[in-house]
Amino acid sequence: LDHGQSYWLDNLTRGMIDSGALEQRVRQEGLRGVTSNPSIFQKAITGGTEYDEQIVELMDRRLPVNRIYERLVVDDIRDACDVLRPVYDESGGTDGFVSLEVSPYLAHDTEGSVEEALRLYEAVDRPNVFIKIPGTDAGVPAIEELLYRGVNVNITLLFSIDAYEAVARAYLRAMERRREEGKSLEDVASVASFFLSRIDVLVDNVLGHRIQSGAAGDEVSRLMGRAGIANAKLAYRRFQELFSGDRWETLEDAGAHVQRMLWASTSTKDPLYSDIRYVEPLIGPHTVNTLPERTIRAFDDHGTVATTVEEGMDEARRVMERLSEVGIDFEHVTEQLLHEGVRKFIDPYDSLMATLAERYERHAGWPSAGHAAVLGDGEGDVEESLDSLERRQFARRLDEPDPALWSDDPEVRKAISNRLGWLELPDSFADRLDEIHAFADDVRPPEFEDVLLLGMGGSCQAARVLEGVFGADGGRPGLTVLDDTSPEAVRETERRLDLESTLVIVASKSGATVETRALYRHFRSRIGELVDASDAGDRFVAITDPGTPLAREAEERGFRALFENPEDVGGRYSALSFFGLVPAALLGIDVEALLRRAGDLRRWHDGSVPSGANPAVRLGATLGALAGDGRDKVTVVASDELEPFPLWLEQLLAESTGKEGRGLVPVVGEELEGPEAYGDDRVFVRLHTRESQDLDAARRLENLQKAGHPVLEIQLRERADLGAEFLRWEIAVATAGRILGVNPFDEPDVRSSKEATADLLEHLADEGQLPGEKPVARGEQLELYADREAAWFGSVSGGGPDRILGAILESVEAGDYLSLLSFFRPTSERRAALQTLRSRLRDRLGVATSLSHGPGYLHSTGQLHKGGPNRGVFLMLTADPGEPLDVPGEPYGFGDLRAAQALGDERALRERGRRVLRLHLGSDVEAGLRELYERLVPEGEETARAAGTPVSSSA
Which pLDDT belongs to residue 218? 75
**pLDDT above 60 (res 944):** no
In this predicted structure, the answer to whether residue 213 has a pLDDT above a threshold of 70 is no
Mean pLDDT of the chain: 92
- Is residue 99's pLDDT more than 50? yes
pLDDT score at 954: 29
What's the confidence (pLDDT) of residue 371? 61
d(C-alpha 800, C-alpha 543), whole Å:
49
Strand-by-strand arrangement of the 372-374 sheet: 372-374, 711-716, 682-689, 633-638, 665-668
Pick the catalytic residue from 132, 509, 633, 659.
132
Q: Is a pLDDT exceeding 60 seen at residue 946?
A: no
pLDDT digits (tens, 9 = 90+) for 305-326: 999 999 999 999 999 999 999 8
Dist CA 194 CA 104 (whole Å): 17
pLDDT digits (tens, 9 = 90+) for 553-584: 999 999 999 999 999 999 999 999 999 999 99
CA dihedral 7, 13, 18, 19 (to 10 degrees): -70
Q: Residue 881: pLDDT band by 50, 70, 90 thresholds?
A: confident
**71 CB burial (10 A radius; 0-12, 13-18, 19+):** middle
CA dihedral 714, 715, 721, 727 (to 10 degrees): -10
Can you give the pLDDT at residue 950? 35
- Tell me which amino acid residue 442 is: D
- 785: which residues sit within 8 A by CB, 6+ positions away? 773, 775, 776, 906, 917, 918, 919, 920
User: Residue 274 pLDDT more than 70?
Assistant: yes
Helix 645-657, helix 722-740: angle, nearest 10 = 20
> How many CB atoms are located within 10 Å of the residue 753 CB?
26
- Residue 690 near residue 716 (C-beta atoms within 8 A): yes
By C-alpha distance, which of 899, 589, 621, 870 is closest to 737? 621
pLDDT tens digits, one per residue of 179-189: 999 999 999 99
Closest CA to 69 of 31, 27, 100: 100
Pairing status of strand 817-823 against strand 848-853: parallel
| Percent residues over pLDDT 70 in the chain | 97
pLDDT at 212: 67
Average pLDDT score over residue span 758-769: 89
Average pLDDT for 657-668: 97
Is the pLDDT confidence value at 364 over 90? no
* More confident call, 753 vs 823: 823
Q: How many residues in total does the chain contain?
A: 955
Type of residue at 659: K
Per-residue pLDDT reduced to its tens digit, 516-554 = 999 999 999 999 999 887 789 999 999 999 999 999 999
Q: pLDDT tens for residues 665-695?
A: 999 999 999 999 999 999 999 999 888 878 8
Q: Say what the pLDDT of residue 278 is.
A: 94
Task: Give the pLDDT confidence score for residue 42 in this predicted structure.
Answer: 85
Residue 602 is predicted with a pLDDT of: 86
pLDDT at residue number 832: 95
Which positions ≥6 away from 916 have C-beta within 8 Å? 786, 787, 873, 874, 875, 876, 906, 909, 910
Query: Is the model's pLDDT at 290 over the cut of 50?
Result: yes
Which residues does 272 contact at the CB level (< 8 Å), separation at least 6?
Answer: none
Give bridge partners of residue 153 from the DSSP assignment.
Answer: 131, 190
Q: What is the pLDDT of residue 772?
A: 85
Residue 606: per-residue pLDDT: 81
How far apart are the C-alpha atoms of 893 and 878, rounded to whole Å?
16
CA distance 359 to 367: 12
DSSP track, 506-556: EE-SSS--HHHHHHHHHHHHHHHHHS-HHHHGGGEEEEE-TT-HHHHHHHH
Does 64 have pLDDT greater than 90?
Answer: no
180 contact partners, CB below 8 Å, separation of at least 6: none
Mean pLDDT, range 661-666, rounded to an integer = 97
Give the 3-state secondary structure of 362-377.
Answer: HHHCCHHHCCEEECHH
Residue 659 designated active-site = no
If we measure between CA atoms, which residue out of 434, 433, 452, 553 comes closest to residue 500?
452
Please compute the mean of the pLDDT values over residues 331-348 and round it to a whole number.
91
pTM of the entire structure?
A: 0.88
pLDDT in tens, 391-421: 898 998 999 899 999 999 999 999 999 999 9
Whole-angstrom distance, CA of residue 16 vs CA of residue 10: 13
Please give the distance of CA 246 from its chain centroid, rounded to a whole number. 55
Q: Over 50: is that where the pLDDT of 207 sits?
A: yes
Distance, C-alpha 540 to centroid of its chain: 36
